[in-house]
């Protein structure tokens, strides 16, 4: 599919290598140093082709994006279903604490797990 020649609305098709150049092992090493991430030679050898593939795929997405298609976060439109906020009676403190093994000052009493300083 690379270089398929598809055109987006109003933009001539470009080969993918014109969108983003390949990322090199040295560039990955430089980015890792900037991010203060220590990578081994094996990790650099493993990550460079993966990052290059990601950049290529982003270029493909950019190539087919059309100006007449609005950006979306979901394929289907989403609508929040909200109910009307209605006050309803709730439990009294006594009712809420009635099944508790221990209560104190209208609160559940639980064993202390942290020491105070």
For each of the domains in the chain, give its residue range(s) and CATH number, in order of start. 20-64 (1.10.20.60)
| Phi, psi for 97 (deg, rounded to 5) | -90, 0
Residue 65 has what pLDDT?
A: 66
Residue 63: other Cβ atoms inside 10 A: 22
- With residues binned 3-state (H G I as helix, E B as strand, rest as coil), the percentages for the chain, rounded to 5, are 35, 5, 60
Q: State pTM to two decimals.
A: 0.40
Residue that has been written with the tokens 């020491």 in this structure: 115
pLDDT band at 16 (very low <50, low <70, confident <90, very high): very low
Residue 97 has what pLDDT?
A: 94
pLDDT tens digit string along 39-92? 999 999 999 999 989 988 888 887 776 777 777 788 888 888 888 999 999 999
Q: What is the 3-state secondary structure (H, E, C) of 25-70?
A: HHHHHHHHHHCCCCCCHHHHHHHHHHHHHHHHHHHHHHHHCCCCCC
Question: Both tokens of residue 43?
Answer: 């990790």
Tell me the C-alpha to C-alpha distance, in Å, between residue 114 and each of 105, 110, 117: 20, 12, 9
Quick check: helix, strand or coil at residue 97? Answer: helix
The DSSP output letter for 114 is S
Residue 59 has what pLDDT?
A: 83
């Amino acid at each position: 599919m690379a270089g398929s020649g598809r055109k987006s609305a109003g933009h001539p098709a470009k080969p993918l290598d014109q969108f983003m150049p390949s990322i090199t092992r040295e560039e990955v090493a430089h980015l890792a140093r900037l991010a203060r991430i220590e990578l081994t030679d094996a990790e650099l050898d493993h990550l460079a082709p993966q990052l290059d593939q990601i950049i290529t795929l982003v270029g493909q997405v950019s190539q087919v994006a059309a100006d007449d298609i609005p950006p979306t976060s979901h394929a289907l439109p989403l609508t929040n279903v909200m109910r009307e906020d209605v006050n309803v009676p709730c439990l009294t403190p006594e009712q809420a604490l009635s099944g508790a093994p221990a209560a104190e000052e209208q609160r559940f009493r639980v064993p202390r797990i942290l020491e105070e300083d």
